[in-house]
Chains A and B, each alone.
Chain A
Amino acid sequence: MWGFALHRWKWFALLTIASAILALNALTGTLKPMAEVVWLDIAGEGGAALLVLIWLALMLNSRPAGRVTNLLSLGLSGIFVAYWQDVMDEVIQLPTTIVWDHWLESGAMPVGMLLLTLGLYHWHKEQQAICDQLRKREKLFREHRDFDRLTPLTRAGYLREHLALASRRATPPLLLMMELPDFDADRRHLGEQDGQRLLQEVAELLLLNLRRDDLLCRYAGHRFAALLTDIDARQALDLARELEQAVAAFAFKSGQGRTHYSQLVVAITEAGADTPEAWLERANRDLDEVRRRRAANVAA
């Protein structure tokens, strides 16, 4: 979440403008007699102004600074200013010689709407770009509860749902189970914080090396799973080697700036006629086997 501090100037500017309008009205006009005040109008226009402020707060709270945010806030501010002047008109009688109030009311609204539309258009473009980036992390549908708190990936629950979907496809999909076999020792050596960061960075590295349509998730702890569709065994093997090499070549920097190298072990498991749960279990067993063989090689 992006807090108040990031957008402090936007709020400050809006507050200044709103106060300026209030001051200008108060200085040049006179208060209407009670009898002439239509309370329903005040409630309607004041309520609208308040709602626009709430939209602005919600929007700013969920967005980082940037062009899209600027356009959206300018647009909403314009609309707010128009309503604000409307409220002023309800309680303050301005001399007929003054025209700026009319300009504020009728000008700020369309300009604000235009800017808001422009902002929404760019927001839509931005969303497309983000979706593109998220492609390998989430497929087809979004479920925020499945997102990992540690890495930018989804979790095992999300993977299980996709295994069921994928196993209905014509070409049998493959599951890559991957693990940093020395992570537990590395974590003790690097410390908790650097250990978590290592996992995050390895997650990014795996994402970069996977194909556009592959789904990567953090299965649990230091184990990752990638679901590959439309791929043959040869290609999958190549991909697995590439992932191993990418992790082996990755020079992780600890908090103190020291370089740390890791190893990745990968097991490839084909979908069978069994259930997704059984498939996952086979994949985990295959990974255990690969890890055992590696440990035996290291010992020899």
Chain B
Amino acid sequence: MRGGSHHHIGYQRDDRFVPCHHHPALLLEMVREQGLDDHKALRHTGLFPDDLLDTSARLSPRQYLQLVHNIRRLHPDPELGFRYGQTLLPGHYGAISTLLGNAAHLDQALITLEDYQPLITPLLAPRIIRTGEYCCVQWLDSCGAGNEYRFLVESMMSALASVTRWLSGGPLPWTFQFSYPQPDYPEHYQVYLGSQLYFEAQMDAMLIPAHYLNQPWPRGSHTARAVSEQQCQEQQLALGCDTSLVHQLYLALIERIREPPSLDTAARELGLSPATLKRKLKHHGTHFQDLLDRARKHTALHLLQFYGYNSEQVARYLRFNDNTNFRRSFKRWTGLTPSACQQLVDRAMTALKPL
């Protein structure tokens, strides 16, 4: 594999590791039924139609994103992302599909997604936040998706909603929260996801009351899980990383958000020079300060939304010297004052409260 030696720092945009016959082939198959030409869909991806049948062919995140870009341009139906998502999970990707398909309960399914993210959702990383009362699955851009980001959110949310409905034997009461405004095709969100939708709500996340996490699911087979888990571990070991460079750094910042490392320290810990880290982040359409702001913003949101913190408590937690300073920063991250944001997330939370 190209760039294999760098993998302890997380996979990057140009690392070829996504099997062509998994997600990319599914996407192509979906539009092929509509008479779309393979050659046009594969333009600038560096791929040939035969590669999709070759089980050893691998795609980089950049090539996968290019494929998504081409297909969305050739086939501009907004339903595509949702339909694509419905077919994604558990999928037929070998061990990881067996592992996910045999989850004994929701919590196990979510752990599988998070632990083996590169194998099952390489472009969008899930972060699971358990707060006691609620569980939040937040989706984060792992490779600089740019304009394809919304498509990825639509497909992964549709995928998780659909697979958990199937595995649990009935629809689960997810509440959906989006960072972007309501698109002009709300019908697909309503039908594929559900009626609890909150747009312009700062993050892309799916929420559910925590007591659904451990309700037993009918399909789980312990033996199948044990065997497939071992294979997944081996596959991930061969890949050499648990997630992407960008997501790994984001998680590291979240972990130490009260005393975040500087760019130099972060680079040193990754075994890179500051200039190299800078260049690599730029290649993924982001930079260090942007990631730090994102990590702080999300931490502040989670504290406000799930832990009932008020603005002053959040400011103190994030070690801001004074409230004015915090409010200014918060406004910069979210475009809102903390209290306006509080009201916004409260609406989503009331929908979550059991009837």
Please choose the segment from B63-71, B190-198, B208-216 that sits at the chain A interface, where 4 or more of its residues have CB less than 8 A away. B190-198
A187 touching B86, Cβ below 8 Å? yes
Name the prevailing secondary structure of the A interface residues: helix
- How many residues on A have C-beta within 8 angstroms of the other chain's C-beta atoms? 19
User: What A residues does B30 contact at CB under 8 A?
Assistant: 192
What 9 A-B pairs come out closest when comparing CB atoms?
A220-B187, A220-B191, A221-B191, A156-B187, A220-B188, A223-B191, A219-B187, A288-B195, A221-B192
B185 touching A295, Cβ below 8 Å? no
Name the prevailing secondary structure of the B interface residues: helix
List chain B positions with a Cβ less than 8 A from chain A. Answer: 29-30, 33-34, 77, 79, 82-83, 86-87, 162, 165-166, 170-171, 185, 187-188, 190-192, 195
* Shortest Cβ gap from A84 to chain B (Å): 36
The complex places the Cα of A187 from the Cα of B88 at a distance, in Å, of: 13
A196 touching B162, Cβ below 8 Å? no
B190 touching A220, Cβ below 8 Å? yes
A285 within 8 A of B: yes
B192 touching A220, Cβ below 8 Å? yes
User: What B residues does A223 contact at CB under 8 A?
Assistant: 187, 190-191
User: What B residues does A284 contact at CB under 8 A?
Assistant: 190, 195
B192 touching A188, Cβ below 8 Å? no
The complex places the Cα of A156 from the Cα of B87 at a distance, in Å, of: 23
A149 touching B34, Cβ below 8 Å? yes
The complex places the Cα of A193 from the Cα of B87 at a distance, in Å, of: 12
User: What A residues does B29 contact at CB under 8 A?
Assistant: 192
A184 touching B190, Cβ below 8 Å? no
A273 within 8 A of B: no
User: What A residues does B34 contact at CB under 8 A?
Assistant: 149
> Which listed residue, A185, A220, A222, A285, touches B166 by the CB 8 Å rule?
A185
User: What B residues does A196 contact at CB under 8 A?
Assistant: 33
* Shortest Cβ gap from A98 to chain B (Å): 51
User: What B residues does A193 contact at CB under 8 A?
Assistant: 33
- Most chain A C-beta atoms within 10 Å of own C-beta, residue among B34, B79, B192: B79
- 5 CB contacts below 8 A, A to B, read A149-B34, A156-B185, A184-B86, A221-B191, A295-B171
